[in-house]
Amino acid sequence: SGDAAAQLIETRESGDDVDAARVARWAFFGFILQAPWNHFFYMALDGAIPPTPEPFTVVTLEKVGIDQFVQAPVFTALIFVFFAVIEGKGLDYAKNQLQTTLVPTLLKNWAVFLPATFVNLAFLPNELRVLFLNSVFFFWVIYLSLTVNAAPTAAEE
């Protein structure tokens, strides 16, 4: 649904139809990669570093740091590679996109997900964490979809 919203933004002036195959690719990504990744990552994180009853602790900051500065760069890179491969653009395209787009995307990711992850880890029980992140991720997918599907610049071609 995030990609469908992104396509509505992309096509609002042109009047083009929504690319159903692209929506299906993003749904496939969410089903086989994003949802299981988040589920098992947060289970492992809480297993390794149990939550504390108080929200404002060093433990919470450690967990946010692991999430945002270890997990997020790996997962974001995986997103670019996944879509380059599934769309038939290949690993060279993914490598180039990572070199040109990963750092700016991570900077935007941290602007959104540092506070969201803190709220998630500090205040929500484990059983609500993936639901909360999926709510935030819906809007993030709009941005990612627009980024991943942006027309390549002259440097990227």
Residue 143 has pLDDT above 90, yes or no: no
pLDDT at site 51: 86
Task: Please state, rounded to an integer, the average pLDDT across all residues of the chain.
Answer: 89
Has residue 147 got a pLDDT over 90? no
The Cα-based distances of 42 to 49, 63, 82, 133, 150 in angstroms read 10, 10, 21, 11, 31
51 φ/ψ sector (left φ>0, alpha ψ -120 to 50, else beta): beta
Contact of 3 with 23, CB cutoff 8 Å: yes
> Average pLDDT in the 19-48 region?
91
Please, which pLDDT band fits residue 112 given cuts at 50, 70 and 90?
Answer: very high
Q: Are 71 and 114 in contact (CB under 8 A)?
A: no
Asked if residues 109 and 119 have their Cβ atoms less than 8 Å apart, the reply is: no
101 and 77 in contact (C-beta within 8 Å)? no
In this structure, the dihedral spanned by the alpha carbons of residues 10, 3, 64 and 68, taken in order and rounded to 10 degrees, is -70
pLDDT for 155 equals 53
Predicted TM-score of the model (pTM): 0.81
Give pLDDT tens digits for 5-24.
888 888 887 888 888 998 99
98 versus 2: the higher-pLDDT residue is 98
pLDDT at residue number 149:
77
pLDDT in tens, 79-96: 999 999 999 999 999 999
- Amino acid identity for residue 4 in this structure: A
Which pLDDT score, from 0 to 100, does residue 157 have?
52
What local confidence, expressed as pLDDT, does residue 111 receive?
Answer: 94
Whether the CB-CB separation of 25 and 41 falls below 8 Å is answered with no
DSSP 36-79: HHHHHHHHHHHHHS---SSSSSHHHHHHHHHIIIIIHHHHHHHH
